[in-house]
Amino acid sequence: MTTTERAGTGDGLVEMAWDPITRIVGSLGIYTKIDFAQKRVAECFSTSSIFRGYSIFMKGKDPRDAHFITSRICGICGDNHATCSVYNQNMAYGVRPPHLGEWIINLGESAEYMFDHNIFQENLVGVDYCEKMVSETNPGVLEQANRTEAPHAGEHGYRTIGDIMRSLNPFTGEFYREALQVSRYTREMFCLMEGRHVHPSTLYPGGVGTVATVQLMTDYLSRLMRYVEFMKKVVPMHDDLFDFFYEALPGYEQVGLRRTLLGCWGSFQDPEYCNFEYKDMTEWGRKMYVTPGVVVDGKLVTTDLVEINLGIRILLGSSYYEDWESQEMFVRQDPLGNPVDRRHPWNQHTNPKPQKRDLDDKYSWVMSPRWFDGKDYLALDTGGGPLARLWSTALAGLLDIGYVKSTGTSVQIKLPKTALKGPVEFEWKIPQWSNTLERNRARTYFQAYSAACALHFAEKALVESRRRASASGSPRRSAACSATTW
């Protein structure tokens, strides 16, 4: 971190920069001007110093290798890139995976959400709310936390908010260390379904290469039920912690507050409906177990994946690229005859132009994706993912699988009895704000959501496995789930 006083300017601003922000990734930098007297950030720029270049060096590659290559974009969420690549290939080749293959992909992605949101929330985000951090930045809040009884102490085991904060201390806190163990077995869950984390080895267009035996499902479910029990502790604990910060620091709702502009592309395909044909994408998109949608100022604008797709624009913003305005347009119409804009990703050219960072002009390797609503180019926020997923699903009111139900104003999550705890019901309600605390809260609830969906997917996969075993007369053959085998 660097700090510079703006001496002689008379504006009272202090320039502060964090570059790199290593808690996230080494290529991210934040440059600000802060008015400490008014407790206000006057200016803020985010930069990325890394050029990835995948859109360039993927040219000429065999498309069947696309998911293996693109997963290397990231060492944390590589499997998400691989999954999206496989979905794209399914559409391009006109193939539809067998149901069992799709359930296995859903189980793998559920485990990825559980792993990723757990380690990010508890071992990265949680540090901001731990005893050591709060004692240094706001000791009065820690004193209040030590005096404040936790409303759900009986559910999570921590008597006061201060006890919760102590449990989050890095490396020494009880809950911090427990979360590290959880990240281990959720990663094991992913590997059971997709072979390797974070670069899947059994994921292919048209299906998977996973051997789907009853033993495999049992190994997955034994870990999943441990996670379900863990979530019965985590959700009420985080509710207590986040609600306390609203109470202890009036005005804290302004932290990270932005206009409610959310974009969700959906998640978890339903193989009963998803045929990966573009002409049917509106219908099968709405059958996904996370409903796609665009939310503007708290209102659901659309759940149509075709409309969402066609509205995407890639603007240059302050990035180190040259325009492609005069270059070839690859696609002028989509398969339904709708016009495709020159700024749509399908028509994007990548023309890098390295140069010195200039915060008044070009300063980042990241372009500026927007969603065009016919009038404005909206900077949709995914809220770190979970906020957009829950908000869109809640408003749409399309999902009801028993374990999870969207009501139009909330998402209800039902977790069954586990080894030490009885059945529990949670309800994520659409919040008043799109801010930091609500993004964090949504991340917690979506962990429970993913676990509940995984229970549904596992039940479906077991039924399909047994049906195939009965049809083939061989438990070993029942495991095969690639389109080439079945």
Please choose, from the candidates 259, 253, 283, the residue with its C-alpha nearest in 3D space to the C-alpha of residue 270. Answer: 283
Rounded percentage of the chain residues whose pLDDT exceeds 90: 87
The rounded mean pLDDT for the chain is 93
The pLDDT of residue 26 is 64
Is the distance from CB of 344 to CB of 350 less than 8 angstroms? no
Q: Taking residues 438-446, report their average pLDDT.
A: 97
What confidence tens digit (pLDDT) does each residue in 163-187 have?
Answer: 999 999 999 999 999 999 999 999 9
Average pLDDT of the residues in 323-331: 97
pLDDT at position 479 is 40
pLDDT of residue 383: 58
The pLDDT of 96-123, averaged and rounded, is 97
Q: Please give the Cα distance from 379 to 79 (Å, whole number).
A: 25
Q: Is the pLDDT of residue 141 over 50?
A: yes
pTM over 0.85: yes
CA torsion angle for 349, 355, 356, 359 (degrees, to 10)? -30
Q: Worst-scoring range by mean pLDDT, 13-22, 199-208, 291-300, 386-395?
A: 13-22
CA-CA distance, 187 to 116, in Å (whole number)? 9
Q: How far apart are CA 110 and CA 108, in angstroms?
A: 5
Strand ranges of the sheet holding 293-296, from the earlier edge strand across to the other edge? 261-264, 293-296, 299-302
Q: Is the pLDDT score of 481 beyond 90?
A: no
Question: Is the distance from CB of 130 to CB of 170 less than 8 angstroms?
Answer: yes
* pLDDT grade for 8, boundaries at 50, 70 and 90: very low
Q: How far apart are CA 206 and CA 192, in angstroms?
A: 19
Q: Kindly report, residue by residue over 243-271, the tens digit of the pLDDT.
A: 999 999 999 999 999 999 999 999 999 99
* Residue-wise burial string across 160-183, b where 16 or more C-beta atoms lie within 10 A, e elsewhere: bbbbbbbbbbeeebebbeebeebb
Is 478's pLDDT higher than 70? no
Q: What is the pLDDT of residues 56-79, one digit of tens each?
A: 989 999 999 999 999 998 888 889
Q: In whole angstroms, give the CA distance from residue 114 to residue 447.
A: 5
For residue 441, give every residue at least 6 positions away whose Cβ sits within 8 Å of its Cβ, in sequence order, or none.
238, 239, 242, 428, 431
pLDDT score recorded for residue 90: 98
460: β partners: none
Closest CA to 147 of 163, 133, 171: 163
* pLDDT at residue 84, as a whole number: 95
CB 228, CB 416: distance < 8 Å = yes
Lowest mean pLDDT of 23-37, 72-86, 211-225, 231-245, name the range: 23-37
Query: Maximum Cα–Cα distance for the chain, whole Å?
Result: 84
The residue among 172, 171, 170, 146 whose CA lies nearest residue 159 is: 146
Q: Indicate whether 4 pLDDT > 70.
A: no
Q: Residue 21 forms beta bridges with which residues?
A: 25
pLDDT mean over 351-367: 96
**What pLDDT does 231 receive?**
98
Which residue in the block uniquely carries the two structure tokens 């502009």?
261
Over residues 127-138, mean pLDDT: 97
Give pLDDT, residue 76.
81
